[in-house]
Chains A and B, each alone.
Chain A
């Protein structure tokens, strides 16, 4: 079984630029999560999808972050414009029916 795929693995941008991340969850996993992990902290949930609907986006900075999951499979997370404090690893995870979430390798974003 293929795992959660994310791209790119690394991205360096200047502040005020835009960036987009892509996630392909495990096949058949209806629930998809985007997390932000700042160095030295645990992952923080940004948004949760159930199929293509948003379940929880209470911690998503909606003035600059957006996410979509068209057709309930792949998902993209966008930041526009980026700030220095957005430097972090962005993790995508998916879940089927159990309690375990399966994480992708993450995208490391550096904003200069």
Chain B
């Protein structure tokens, strides 16, 4: 049973444009959501998070949107840069339980 779903295995975006990565979840008990970025041969690094009491969190070029009614969140990167090419993992957490990761979306930023 996959509680956190990233349905797009890969995404290609032109440099300078907006990258939108999507994530769906099934467990309404999740109260915290995180995005991690992973380069090859490195561990995931924390990017941005959002609490379930909010619907938007922004940090520089990165914005995460949360739609609780749809059980959907998205990560917007604007403008996209070559260094953004990586695998992005969505993760969800009920603080009384373990964090659950999606399968990841590989983002390619095209020159």
CA–CA, A103 and B73, complex, Å: 23
Is B62 close to A, CB under 8 A? no
Interface residues of B in 53-111 (CB under 8 A from A): 89, 91, 93, 95, 98-99, 101-104
* Complex interface: chain B residues within 8 A of A6 (CB): 43
Is A100 close to B, CB under 8 A? yes
Interface size class of A (residues with CB under 8 A): 20 to 34
**Number of A-B residue pairs having CB atoms within 8 Å of each other in the complex:** 46
Contact in complex: A43, B42 (CB < 8 Å): no
* Complex interface: chain B residues within 8 A of A45 (CB): 98-99
Digitize B38-62: 1 where CB-to-A-CB distance is under 8 Å, 0 elsewhere.
0001111110010000000000000
Expressed in whole angstroms, the minimum distance between the Cβ of A12 and any Cβ of chain B is 16
CA–CA, A42 and B46, complex, Å: 14
* Complex interface: chain B residues within 8 A of A14 (CB): none
B residues with a Cβ closer than 8 A to A are: 4, 9, 32, 34, 36, 41-46, 49, 89, 91, 93, 95, 98-99, 101-104
Contacts A42-B4, A44-B101 aside, 12 further interface pairs with beta carbons under 8 A come to A40-B9, A40-B103, A41-B104, A42-B89, A42-B103, A91-B44, A99-B95, A100-B49, A103-B36, A103-B43, A105-B43, A106-B43
